[in-house]
């Protein structure tokens, strides 16, 4: 990874996103020109890495697909080693608006938060989920609160900003390689990290894209997330 030029790193995990990755990177350069952009190509079989480089991003490529969480953690570890102070994570499919990045960073810079979640539901935005996903969001929201976590309107949002101590914490071995969601938020809360939400606008997932949580994968995701979250709830909190 080249020498950092900024205190802010935007990490974009990407798997077969050659159609959208260039516009995401270019949008970030316009919206946060002082930030460095790292695309973590998670074993793509298309031109994702090439298009990201051509658009001006740094690129780290996994030799094969390791999972969304593993791609995020690659970004966290690169950020920690390079000395970045703030990290923003966002998707490569164009659903997240690069123009919202300054909004996510603002609470970190004011000292009001350690983790900031870009929320579709903190305020009415007109964003619509299918019935099954809406029920799932409410269910996991209540599970998180029942286990002693923070009350979060959009607990499955992947659009987040983290301060250095928080993304350093996420470099630990506990971090899941596939679906980092409410289990990670619960651990962050239990370790004293302040989590806040800010309203953002999000586009629907592109029609051609296969959502992360559909069909049998949705069943597996629910099982895995419950198991991981209950394990997180039973994990002894250690400060240090």
Q: What is the DSSP string of 82-131?
A: HT-SEEEE--SSS-B-GGGHHHHHHHHHHTS-SEEEEESSSS-------H
The answer to the question of residue 2 being in a domain is: no
Which segments of the chain have a pLDDT < 50?
208, 210-215, 223, 237-240
Gyration radius (Cα) of the chain, Å: 17
CA distance 120 to 159: 10
Q: So what's the pLDDT on residue 239?
A: 41
* 197 beta partners: 117
pLDDT of residue 180: 77
Q: Are strands 36-42 and 115-119 parallel, antiparallel or unpaired?
A: unpaired
What pLDDT does residue 217 have? 58
- Tens digits of residue pLDDT in 2-43: 556 799 999 999 999 999 999 999 999 999 999 999 999 999
Q: Confirm whether 98 is domain-assigned.
A: yes
Question: Please, are residues 32 and 129 in contact by the beta-carbon 8 Å criterion?
Answer: no
Contact 161, 106 (CB under 8 A): no
Domain for residue 104, yes or no? yes
- Is residue 240, in this structure, part of any structural domain at all? no
| pTM score | 0.82
Is position 54 within any domain? yes
pLDDT of residue 221: 55
pLDDT for position 146 = 72
Beta strands in the chain (DSSP E): 8-14, 36-42, 58-62, 86-89, 115-119, 160-163, 195-199
List beta partners, residue 59.
39
- By C-alpha distance, which of 77, 112, 63, 71 is closest to 1? 77
Q: Classify residue 3: in a domain, yes or no.
A: no
Q: Is residue 105 part of a domain?
A: yes
Residue 131 lies in a domain: yes
Judge whether 30 and 60 are in contact, CB under 8 Å: no
Distances (CA, A) of 25 to 28, 44, 53, 59, 132: 5, 17, 9, 11, 32
Q: In this structure, what are the phi and psi dihedrals at residue 206, rounded to the nearest 5 degrees? A: -55, 145
Q: What is the pLDDT of residue 105?
A: 98
- Among 18, 71, 12, smallest CA distance to 45 is for 18
Pseudo-torsion of CA 126, 29, 37, 214, nearest 10°?
A: 30
Judged by DSSP in three states, 116 sits in strand
Beta-bridge mates of residue 195: 115
Closest CA to 108 of 151, 33, 161: 161
The per-residue pLDDT for 240 is 39
Looking at residue 224, what is its pLDDT? 55
Which range marks the domain in which residue 108 is found? 8-234
Give the count of domains, the chain: 1
| CATH of residue 148 | 3.90.550.10
């Amino acid at each position: 990874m080249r020498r950092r030029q900024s205190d802010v790193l935007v990490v974009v995990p990407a798997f077969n996103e050659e159609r959208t990755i260039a516009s995401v990177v270019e949008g970030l350069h316009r919206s946060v020109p002082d930030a460095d952009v790292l695309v973590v190509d998670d074993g793509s079989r298309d031109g994702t890495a090439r298009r990201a480089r051509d658009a001006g991003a740094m690129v780290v490529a996994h030799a094969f697909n390791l999972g969304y969480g593993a791609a995020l953690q690659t970004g966290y570890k690169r950020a920690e080693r390079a000395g970045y102070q703030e990290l923003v994570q966002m998707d490569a499919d164009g659903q997240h608006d690069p123009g919202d990045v300054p909004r996510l960073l603002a609470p970190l810079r004011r000292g009001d938060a350690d983790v900031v979640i870009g929320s579709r539901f903190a305020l009415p935005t007109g964003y619509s989920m299918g019935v099954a996903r809406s029920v799932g969001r409410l269910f996991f929201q209540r599970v998180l609160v029942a286990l002693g976590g923070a009350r979060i309107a959009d607990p499955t949002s992947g659009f987040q900003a983290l301060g250095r101590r928080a993304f350093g914490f996420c470099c630990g071995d506990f971090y899941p390689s596939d679906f980092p969601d409410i289990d990670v938020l619960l651990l962050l809360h239990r370790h004293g990290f302040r989590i806040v939400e800010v309203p953002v606008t999000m586009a629907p997932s592109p029609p051609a894209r296969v959502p992360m949580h559909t069909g049998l994968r949705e069943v597996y995701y629910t099982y895995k997330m419950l198991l991981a979250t209950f394990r997180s709830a039973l994990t002894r909190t250690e400060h240090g």
